[in-house]
Amino acid sequence: MKLLDRYIIRQFLGTFFFILLLIMSIAVVFDISEKTEDFATMTATRQEIIFDYYLNFIIYYANLFSGLLIFIAVILFTGKLAHRTEVIAMLSSGVSFPRLLVPYFVAATLLTGIALVTNHYVLPAANRTRLAFEEAHIRVPYQVKGKHIHREIEPGVIAYFESFNAQRSTGYRFSLEHWEDGALKSKLTSERAAYDSSSGRWRITDLTIRAFGPGGEAIHRAAELDTVIKLTPKDIGQRNENAMSMTSAELDRFIREERARGSDAVTFFLIEKHQRSSYPFATYVFTLIGVSISSRKVRGGTGVHLALGVLLILLYIFAMKMTTVGATNAGLDPLLAVWIPNVIFGAVAIYIYQRAPK
C-alpha cells in the first residue's frame, strides 16, 4: 500500500469518526435535555442511565446514521483535496481515477464489515438493554399500532381484536374462533374483552357464542364471562422495535412464529431482517457518489458538494421509505424493498462516476 493510499484511508476514517463523535455528542445532549424530568423522577441509578441507556443509545444511533456520516466525511475530505487542486495534481501525475478510488473502497470495505458485524451481533444486544431500560423507566412496556389484530393462539384457535388499548389491557370487537379440519366449529364474539393481570383471566362482556354441529347452529348469549385464554396483552402488543433486539437466528424463529399466529407485522420483521445486510452495503454507493461529486473543483467549494450530496441522501432515504411502505401496504417483497434503493442509487453512482474528471 502506497503512501497516498494510507493518507486517503487515514483522512477518510479520521474525518468519519470525528463527525460521528460530534454528532453523537449533540444527540446525547439533546436527549438529556428532553428527558431531564423523566430522569429526575425515575428510580434508575446513574450507572444504569449511562451504561444501560446512553451507551447503547450511542451504538444504535451511530449505526443508524453511519451511511449519512460516511457520505459527509467523503464529501468534506475529497472536497478539500479538490479545492486545493490536489485531485488535479494526482490525476496529472499519472494516477487514474479508478486507481484513486482504491483507498476509498478499502476504507468503505472496513466500515461495511464493521456495520455488518454490528447489525447482526452487537446491535441486537445493545438494543435489548436499551429497550429494557425504556420499558422499565420511560414508556409503556407494550404498545399496539393499528387495528384488526389476528393471533393464532394454538392450532385451530384464532383470536381477533378490531382494536386494542394497551394501557387498559382491553380489546374491542373481540372474537374467538375454533376450527377443526377446515370447518368452523364455534365462534365467540363480544364487544369488549379485558385482561386481569392478577388472575391471568379475560373478562368478556356482552358476548355471543355460536356452535356449529351436525344438528345445526346453537346460539348462546351472556352478559359476562371470565375465562382463561392462552393470550396476554404482551403477546398482542409487543413493540415492533423488539425485533431489533433479536439476533438474526432469533429473528428468523420469531418470524416463523408470527406467521403461524397470523400476525400482520411479519412484513415489518422481514424488512428489519433484510436491512441488516442491505444498509451496510450502501456504504459503497455513498462512497462512489461522494468521491465522484466532490473530486471536481467548482465555484463555491465544499458547500456546493455538500448541498448536492445531502440532496442525494435525502432522495435515498425517501426511496427507502417508499419501498418499505410498498412492502407493508402494497405487497412488495421485503427483500426487494430494501435492496431497490441500493440498485437505483448504484446506477446513479455509476452515471456520476462516468462524468467525473478523469
What is the C-alpha to C-alpha distance for residues 156 and 251, in angstroms, rounded to an integer?
24
Q: What is the pLDDT of residue 264?
A: 67
What is the C-alpha to C-alpha distance for residues 156 and 138, in angstroms, rounded to an integer?
38
Q: What is the pLDDT of residue 337?
A: 92
- The DSSP code for 42 is S
Number of H helices, E strands in the chain: 12, 6
275 and 299 housed in the same domain: yes
7 and 120 housed in the same domain: yes
Report the share of the chain in percent with pLDDT over 90. 30
> Is 244 inside any structural domain?
no
Across all residues in the chain, what is the average pLDDT? 84
**How does strand 157-165 pair with strand 183-196?**
unpaired
135 and 167 housed in the same domain: no
Q: Which has the higher per-residue pLDDT, 260 or 229? A: 229
In terms of average pLDDT, the best of 124-128, 133-137, 182-186, 310-314 is: 124-128
Radius of gyration (C-alpha) of the chain in whole angstroms: 27
228 and 311 housed in the same domain: no
Give Cα separations from 358 to 96, 134, 352 (angstroms): 7, 52, 12
Q: Is the pLDDT of residue 144 over 60?
A: no
Q: Which of 216, 236, 256 is the last residue of a domain?
A: 236
Q: What is the pLDDT of residues 158-181, one digit of tens each?
A: 888 888 776 678 888 899 999 888
Q: Which three cell numbers stand for residue 246?
A: 433479536
Instruction: Check if the beta carbon of residue 31 is closer than 8 Å to that of residue 55.
Output: no
Total tally of structural domains belonging to the chain: 2
Instruction: Name the strand (E) or helix (H) holding 211.
Output: strand 201-213
Angle between helices 97-117 and 66-83 (to 10 degrees): 160
55 and 106 housed in the same domain: yes
Q: Is the pLDDT of residue 298 over 80?
A: no
Nearest to 4 by CA among 111, 117, 92, 86: 86
The distance in angstroms from the start CA to the end CA of the chain is 22
> Is 260 inside any structural domain?
no
126 and 156 housed in the same domain: no
Q: What is the pLDDT of residue 347?
A: 93
93 and 197 housed in the same domain: no
10 and 132 housed in the same domain: yes
> Is 252 inside any structural domain?
no
Note down the domain range covering 69.
3-139+266-354
Instruction: Name the strand (E) or helix (H) holding 179.
Output: strand 170-180
Q: Among 21-25, 174-178, 309-313, where is mean pLDDT lowest?
A: 309-313
Non-local (6+) Cβ contacts of 303 within 8 A are none
Show the CA angle centred on residue 84, arms to residues 80 and 87, nearest 5°: 80
111 and 210 housed in the same domain: no
Q: Which has the higher per-residue pLDDT, 59 or 261? A: 59
Mean pLDDT confidence for 142-161: 71
Q: What is the pLDDT of residues 312-322, one digit of tens each?
A: 878 888 888 89
What is the C-alpha to C-alpha distance for residues 312 and 340, in angstroms, rounded to an integer?
15
Q: What is the pLDDT of residue 30?
A: 93
Q: Which three cell numbers stand for residue 322?
A: 417508499
Q: Which three cell numbers stand for residue 25?
A: 455528542
Q: Is the pLDDT of residue 142 over 60?
A: no
Mean pLDDT confidence for 269-291: 91
In terms of average pLDDT, the best of 161-165, 208-212, 243-247, 255-259 is: 208-212
In terms of average pLDDT, the best of 54-63, 136-145, 175-184, 224-233 is: 54-63
Q: Is the pLDDT of residue 188 over 90?
A: yes
